[in-house]
C-alpha cells in the first residue's frame, strides 16, 4: 500500500467515520493519488464523491468540483463542513455572507474543495481567480451531460475541457457519472480529456433497491397505496407534468402524508422551503417533475415512485438511484400505460434532434418498455442493458410474485386483424370492445359488430387485452399516431406476425402474490437493519437529531445518517471510544455531537 493511500485510509475513518472503502472506491482513489486522469462510471449510492474528496484532503492544493446541480453542491458542502473539511461553493443561491466566506478561504488558500456550476466556471473572472488558486484537480460530476448521446445533454459542458487547460495547463481531470453507455463514454473521453484516461466502469447493481413496475389502473390510488406502505419514510414521487405534481401532492396530503410539491414553476421561495423541509425533516414525501431533477444528496430516501413512465432506461436508473443511498433497503415502483408510451414516442419524433439521435432515443425507449413488460427478473433485464450478466435477484416484483409466459401469436393476430379491419382509424378501447364483443355506441354506429373479429377475444377480459396491446406495442408490432386521435397502425414487423412468419411470446398477468407484506418479501439488506434496533431508543435519537439539525438549519442527515442512528440504537455504545467505531462517526462529529447522543443512550439503559 502506498503512503498516500495509507493516509487516505486513516482520513476515511477519522474524517468520515467509515470503517473501509466501498467496492470499487480504493482503486479509483489510488489512481487519482497517482496523478492519473480518471473516468469513473459508478452507480448512484456507491460513493463517487468520496473518490475526489479523499484525494483533496490527502494532497495540497485546491480540488475544483463541477456540478450542474446547485442543491447537490449545497448538500455536499454542508456534509463536508460537519465533518470538519474546508469546503464551499459559489452559486446564485448563496447569500453574500457565504460567498464572502468562500472567497476569503480561497484567497488564503485554505479551501480544500470548491464547487461550481459550469456556467459560473465559464466566466472570465472565475477563470482568472482560479488561475491564482493552486487548483490541482478538476472533478467533473454528472459527466454524461457532455455527451449528445447522454440522457441529459448540456451544451455548457462542452467548454470544460478547454477551461481546464486555461486554469492549470495539464490540470488533472476526473470525470464521474452514474450512467454512461459506450457511445456516451466515448464522448466524455473525446471532449474532456486530451488523452484516454484510466477508465473504471463499476457494477450497476443496487441490490438494496426493490424494483417493481405496474400497469396504470387508477394511478393516483396506486401512488397513495404505495406511499401508505411507507408511512413515516422519506420518499420521492416523480411525475411527467407540473399539474400532476400539484395534484398528487394534494392527494397525498389529504391522505395524511407529509407531501410537498417541487417543480420549476413554483415560486423560488416556496420551492426552496419545500426542499429544505424534505431534507431537514423525517417522513416528507416530495412530488417532483423528472425533467427538473432533484439534485439531492439525501441518503435516507426509502422509496421512489414514478407516477409516469420515465424517458429512458438511463433516466429511470438515475432517478431510482436516489433511494437507499445509505445502503439500507429501499423500494421503487414505476407506473406505466399506453398513453405514457405514446407520449414518449411523440416527444422523440417532434424533437429537433438529428435522425441518428432520434434512432438512438427510440432504441432507449424500447429498452425501457422491454423492462416494463419483462417476463423475467427485472434486475437481470436492467443489468443486461448495461452489458452486465446477473442471476435472478429475488428482490423485484417478478422474482417475488412470479410471471408466466405463453405463445401470444394468436392473440396478437386477433388484435392486429381488428385494427386493420377497422381501417387503422381507431384507438385501443374501441378495438378492445370489438374483440370482447361489447356492443358500445361506437361499435354499433360504425357497424363493427358485423366484422369477423367481433367477439373473437371474448375469452379474455378487457384488462387482459389492454395488457396485450401494451406488450405488442412494446414489441413494435403496432404503433399509434397521437396526432390522429390515438389511432393504431400495424407495422411491417406486425404484418409478419399476422401472416404467421414470426411467432411471439407474451406474459400473463402476475400470479397472485404470496402472503406477506412487500417489506417482508425484500431481499437481503445490510446488517444495520431497523428490525435489530431498539425502536424506542431509535425514536429518541431521531428526535435529538431533528432538534440539532433545526438549530443549525441543516438537513438531518448532516448530523448523522439513518444508518448511524440505527447502529447506535443496536449496539448502544457506552463511551466516546466505542461510539467512534459506529459507521459515520468521525472525529469532528464525535466532538460536536457525541456527548448529547451518549447521554440519550445511557438514559435508555437505566
> Which of these ranges, 70-79, 515-524, 556-565, has the smallest mean pLDDT?
515-524
Q: For residues 41 and 114, state if they share a domain.
A: yes
Q: For residues 316 and 347, state if they share a domain.
A: yes
305 SS3 class: strand
Task: Quick: pLDDT tens for 194-215.
Answer: 899 999 998 888 999 999 999 8
518 pLDDT more than 60: no
Name the phi and psi angles at 318, rounded to 5: -70, -35
523 within a domain of the structure (yes/no): no
* Final residue of a structural domain among 386, 401, 416: 401
pLDDT at 556: 85
* Final residue of a structural domain among 136, 171, 201: 201
pLDDT at 430: 94
81 within a domain of the structure (yes/no): yes
Written in H, E and C, the secondary structure of 391-416 is CCCCCEHHHHHCCCEEECHHHHHHHH
75 within a domain of the structure (yes/no): yes
pLDDT at 485: 57
Helix axes 355-372, 462-474, angle to 10 degrees: 140
Contact between 55 and 137 (Cβ < 8 Å): yes
Task: Quick: pLDDT tens for 277-330.
Answer: 888 888 999 999 875 555 567 888 999 999 999 988 888 998 998 899 888 999
What is the greatest pairwise CA distance in the chain?
Answer: 86
- Which positions ≥6 away from 565 have C-beta within 8 Å? 538, 541, 542, 545
524 within a domain of the structure (yes/no): no
127 pLDDT more than 50: yes
520 within a domain of the structure (yes/no): no
- Which positions ≥6 away from 527 have C-beta within 8 Å? none
519 pLDDT more than 60: no
pLDDT at 421: 96
Which of 433 and 371 is assigned the larger pLDDT? Answer: 433
pLDDT average, residue stretch 558-566:
91
pLDDT at 151: 59
Q: Is 40 left (phi over 0), alpha (psi -120 to 50) or beta?
A: beta
Name the phi and psi angles at 66, rounded to 5: -100, 125
pLDDT band at 29 (very low <50, low <70, confident <90, very high): very high
Q: For residues 52 and 168, state if they share a domain.
A: yes
Q: What is the CATH number of the domain that holds 21?
A: 3.40.50.300
Q: For residues 46 and 151, state if they share a domain.
A: yes
- The alpha carbons of the chain give a radius of gyration, in whole angstroms, of 26
- How many separate domains does the chain show? 4
Which of 111 and 152 is assigned the larger pLDDT? Answer: 111
pLDDT at 152: 67
Q: For residues 279 and 327, state if they share a domain.
A: yes
pLDDT band at 514 (very low <50, low <70, confident <90, very high): very low
Measured CA to CA, the distance from residue 116 to residue 154 in angstroms comes to 15
138 within a domain of the structure (yes/no): yes
Q: For residues 446 and 588, state if they share a domain.
A: no
Q: For residues 126 and 156, state if they share a domain.
A: yes
Concatenated DSSP letters of 350-390: HS---HHHHHHHHHHHHHHHHHHT-SS-HHHHHHHHTT---
Q: For residues 268 and 370, state if they share a domain.
A: yes
The residue segments making up the domain with residue 556 are 530-605
Q: For residues 118 and 256, state if they share a domain.
A: no
pLDDT at 245: 95
Contact between 264 and 289 (Cβ < 8 Å): yes
pLDDT band at 517 (very low <50, low <70, confident <90, very high): very low
Task: Quick: pLDDT tens for 542-558.
Answer: 999 989 988 888 888 88
Measured CA to CA, the distance from residue 116 to residue 133 in angstroms comes to 14
> Which of these ranges, 51-55, 270-274, 568-572, has the smallest mean pLDDT?
270-274
512 within a domain of the structure (yes/no): no
Grid coordinates in use for 214? Answer: 405496474
410 SS3 class: helix
Share of the chain above pLDDT 70, in %: 92
pLDDT at 36: 96
Amino acid at each position: 500500500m502506498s503512503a498516500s493511500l495509507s493516509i487516505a485510509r486513516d482520513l476515511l475513518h477519522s474524517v468520515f467515520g467509515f470503517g473501509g472503502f466501498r467496492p470499487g472506491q480504493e482503486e479509483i482513489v489510488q489512481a487519482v493519488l497517482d496523478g492519473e486522469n480518471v473516468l469513473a462510471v459508478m452507480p448512484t449510492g456507491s460513493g463517487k464523491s468520496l473518490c475526489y474528496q479523499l484525494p483533496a484532503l490527502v494532497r495540497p492544493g485546491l480540488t475544483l468540483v463541477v456540478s450542474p446541480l446547485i442543491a447537490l453542491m449545497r448538500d455536499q458542502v454542508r456534509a463536508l463542513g460537519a465533518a470538519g473539511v474546508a469546503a464551499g461553493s459559489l452559486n446564485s443561491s448563496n447569500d453574500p455572507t457565504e460567498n464572502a466566506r468562500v472567497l476569503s478561504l480561497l484567497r488564503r488558500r485554505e479551501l480544500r474543495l470548491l464547487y461550481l456550476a459550469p456556467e459560473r466556471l465559464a466566466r472570465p473572472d472565475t477563470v482568472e481567480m482560479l488561475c491564482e488558486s493552486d487548483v490541482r484537480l478538476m472533478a467533473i460530476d454528472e459527466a454524461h451531460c457532455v455527451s449528445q448521446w447522454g440522457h441529459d445533454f448540456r451544451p455548457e459542458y462542452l467548454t470544460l475541457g478547454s477551461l481546464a487547460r486555461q486554469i492549470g495547463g495539464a490540470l488533472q481531470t476526473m470525470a464521474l457519472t452514474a450512467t454512461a453507455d459506450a457511445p456516451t463514454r466515448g464522448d466524455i473521453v473525446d471532449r474532456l480529456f486530451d488523452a484516454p484516461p484510466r477508465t473504471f466502469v463499476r457494477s450497476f447493481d443496487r441490490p438494496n433497491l426493490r424494483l417493481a413496475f405496474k400497469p396504470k389502473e387508477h394511478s393516483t390510488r396506486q401512488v397513495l397505496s404505495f406511499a401508505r406502505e411507507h408511512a413515516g419514510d422519506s420518499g420521492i414521487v416523480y411525475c411527467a407534468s407540473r399539474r400532476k405534481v400539484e395534484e398528487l401532492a394534494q392527494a397525498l396530503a389529504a391522505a395524511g402524508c407529509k407531501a410537498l410539491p417541487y417543480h420549476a414553476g413554483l415560486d423560488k421561495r416556496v420551492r426552496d422551503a419545500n426542499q429544505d423541509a424534505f431534507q431537514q425533516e423525517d417522513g416528507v414525501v416530495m412530488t417532483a417533475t423528472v425533467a427538473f431533477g432533484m439534485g439531492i444528496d439525501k441518503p435516507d430516501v426509502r422509496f421512489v415512485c414514478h407516477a409516469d413512465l420515465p424517458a429512458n432506461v438511463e433516466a429511470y436508473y438515475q432517478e431510482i438511484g436516489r433511494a437507499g443511498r445509505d445502503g439500507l433497503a429501499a423500494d421503487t415502483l414505476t407506473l406505466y400505460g399506453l398513453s405514457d408510451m405514446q407520449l414518449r414516442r411523440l416527444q422523440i419524433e417532434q424533437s429537433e434532434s438529428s435522425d441518428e439521435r432520434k434512432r438512438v432515443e427510440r432504441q432507449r425507449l424500447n429498452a425501457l418498455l422491454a423492462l416494463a413488460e419483462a417476463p423475467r427478473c427485472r434486475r437481470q433485464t436492467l443489468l443486461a442493458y448495461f452489458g452486465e450478466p446477473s442471476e435472478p435477484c429475488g428482490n423485484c416484483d417478478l422474482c417475488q410474485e412470479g410471471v408466466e409466459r405463453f405463445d401470444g401469436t394468436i392473440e396478437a393476430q386477433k388484435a392486429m386483424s381488428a385494427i386493420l379491419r377497422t381501417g387503422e382509424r381507431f384507438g385501443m378501447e374501441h378495438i378492445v370492445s370489438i374483440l370482447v364483443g361489447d356492443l358500445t355506441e361506437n361499435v354499433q354506429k360504425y357497424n363493427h359488430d358485423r366484422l369477423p373479429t367481433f367477439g373473437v377475444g371474448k375469452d379474455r377480459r378487457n384488462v387482459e387485452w389492454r395488457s396485450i396491446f401494451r406488450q405488442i406495442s412494446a414489441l413494435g408490432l403496432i404503433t399509434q399516431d397521437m396526432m390522429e386521435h390515438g389511432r393504431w397502425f400495424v407495422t411491417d414487423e406486425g404484418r409478419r406476425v399476422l401472416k404467421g412468419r414470426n411467432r411471439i411470446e407474451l406474459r400473463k398477468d402476475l400470479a397472485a402474490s404470496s402472503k406477506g407484506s412487500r417489506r417482508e418479501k425484500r431481499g437481503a439488506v445490510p446488517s444495520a437493519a431497523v428490525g435489530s434496533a431498539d425502536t424506542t431508543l431509535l425514536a429518541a435519537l431521531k428526535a435529538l437529531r431533528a432538534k440539532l439539525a433545526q438549530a443549525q438549519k441543516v438537513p438531518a442527515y448532516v448530523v448523522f445518517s439513518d444508518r448511524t442512528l440505527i447502529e447506535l440504537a443496536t449496539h448502544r455504545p457506552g463511551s466516546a471510544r466505542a461510539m467512534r467505531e459506529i459507521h459515520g462517526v468521525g472525529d469532528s462529529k464525535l466532538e460536536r455531537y457525541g456527548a448529547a447522543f451518549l447521554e440519550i443512550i445511557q438514559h435508555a439503559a437505566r
